[in-house]
Amino acid sequence: MAQLLSYKDHFNKTVLLAYPVMLSQLGHIMVGIVDSIMVGQLGPKELAASSFASNFLAVFMMFGIGVSYGITPMVAQADGKKDNDLITRLLRHGIILCLVLGLLMVMLMYSLTAVFPYMGQPAEVIDLGTPYFFIIASSLFPLIVFQGFRQFSEGMSITKPTMYITILANGLNVLLNYLLIFGKWGFPELGLNGAGWSTLVSRVLMAIAMLVFVRRYHRFKAFRAGFVLNRFKADFFKPMLKIGIPTGGQFIFEVGAFAMAAVMMGWLGTVPLASHQIAISLVAISYMMASGISAASTVRVGNQLGKGDFPNLRRAGNTSFIMALVFMAACSLVYILFNGFFPKLYVDDAEVVGIASSLIVIAGLFQLSDGVQVVGLGCLRGMSDVRVPTWITLLSYWGLAIPSSYVFGFVLDLGPQGVWYGLLIGLTVAAVALYTRFNRLATKKILAQ
């Protein structure tokens, strides 16, 4: 039997994997944050339009990222077994899967713009948001391609190059935003659409950079046959999709709940919607960084599963839960203490700042739940357990959070704050259920040895 590592050892191993992923995840979301801050300088209408389009895109983006996550645990388990032939096939089929998925999702998003006028949003939000949405929807294809190479690399426990590529791409996005939103240095002044073009260009370059890295990195030399895409077998996509589609569904149920909350805010008016965008962009920072811990937990748990080392599997998972709790507690404290400061980075409209400040306090309250639930999904994904967690997320967010948001926000007339109280309830229930599920499964495997 393998030696049971201490929590300190597991912490060190998880941190080495997690911090580059956390920064990479932060890079993903910082594209939207920077866009919101710079678009906010144009006014509340542009910020509300950005919120509507970005929240709509986020549902598709997170589903695509979730499907790509089906690659990581399979690669991690194959790496634990040292099966190079299987790793090569996973690379090939992962590339093909992300190419096809990205194309299909962009085409679907284009077609769905036809329903925008019927979603009960202010007219100026639809007018400004629709052309912006077309541009950022196009950026989803290179993002999903990037994800395919990224998830392969992370499954092999190589995480730093993704971090560097993402940081550089975000620096480029900030520069292009400045040039294209405001028309600096002779560039056209495109306003909100300038932010969209900046996102598209930076994500194309991210995809190219990640492809070149995986192709040329010396440790991946043995897997270069994975780039020969005409040797695929349809049956080999099934195990990837068996993990990836439910994982995408999990993201859809959570992100979709927040997107539905944005729609409800639109029913309340342009100002609540702009306020929601500010608060949700801050929540997204901590969530995406916690999802970096979650991604590391998928690799660590997947490796232990491949080795058949179940005591260390459970301890690796519990280490990730502890890390998430500590990190999200710090985020909670920052949000609550500085709830009045953050909105002023976006706008100077007093009404928007007031509502956003109150929402940020509620966001601070659900940080612990958000961290535990996302790590729970990552640990269970590492064990290839996705069906039950998908049901947990569906019931928590759409069976509980959204109905509660409507009741608090509209029936009890608590307004924007009431909508967010419902989200708090759903996240808390999901966190408890997913943590319980992981420890139950891990303990069952230990007892069965």
Q: What 8-state DSSP symbol labels residue 189?
A: -
In a domain, 82, yes or no: yes
CB-based contacts of 212-216 (< 8 A; 24+ apart in sequence): 213/149, 213/153, 213/161, 213/165, 214/91, 214/149, 214/152, 214/153
Please name the residue that has the structure tokens 């949700």. Answer: 280
**Residue-level pLDDT at 28:** 64
* Residue 267 to residues 56, 72, 123, 293, 300, Cα–Cα distance (Å): 15, 39, 12, 35, 44
**Residue-level pLDDT at 29:** 66
The pair of structure tokens assigned to 200 is: 């598209």
- Give the chain's domain count: 1
In one-letter notation, the amino acid at residue 226 is G
> Which DSSP string corresponds to 321-366?
HHHHHHHHHHHHHHHHHTTTTGGGGT---HHHHHHHHHHHHHHHHT
In a domain, 381, yes or no: yes
Dist CA 178 CA 39 (whole Å): 10
In a domain, 71, yes or no: yes
Dist CA 163 CA 179 (whole Å): 25
Is residue 401 within 8 A of residue 423, CB to CB? The reply is: yes
Measure the CA angle with vertex 166, ends 364 and 23; round to 5°. 35
The overall average pLDDT reported for the chain is 87
In a domain, 1, yes or no: no
In a domain, 198, yes or no: yes
In a domain, 208, yes or no: yes
Which positions of the chain have pLDDT values less than 70?
A: 1-2, 27-33
Could you tell me which residues come within 8 angstroms of residue 61 by beta carbon, excluding any fewer than 6 positions away? Answer: 140, 143
Which secondary structure element, helix H or strand E, spans residue 447, and what is its range? helix 415-448
In a domain, 49, yes or no: yes
**Residue-level pLDDT at 176:** 92
Dist CA 257 CA 262 (whole Å): 9
Dist CA 348 CA 351 (whole Å): 9
Dist CA 54 CA 374 (whole Å): 21
In a domain, 119, yes or no: yes
Cβ neighbour number for residue 81 with a 10 Å cutoff: 13
Helix, strand, coil share (%) of the chain residues, nearest 5: 90, 0, 10
In this predicted model, what pLDDT tens digit does every residue of 194-203 receive, in sequence order? 888 998 999 9
Dist CA 149 CA 210 (whole Å): 6
Could you tell me which residues come within 8 angstroms of residue 66 by beta carbon, excluding any fewer than 6 positions away? Answer: 244, 247, 248, 249, 250, 251, 252
In this predicted model, what pLDDT tens digit does every residue of 59-118 receive, in sequence order? 788 889 889 988 988 898 888 788 889 999 999 999 999 999 999 999 999 998 888 888
Q: Can you give the residue range of the structural domain that contains 204? A: 7-226+233-448
**Residue-level pLDDT at 157:** 82
Could you tell me which residues come within 8 angstroms of residue 173 by beta carbon, excluding any fewer than 6 positions away? Answer: 31, 34, 35, 198, 199, 201, 202
Dist CA 50 CA 36 (whole Å): 7
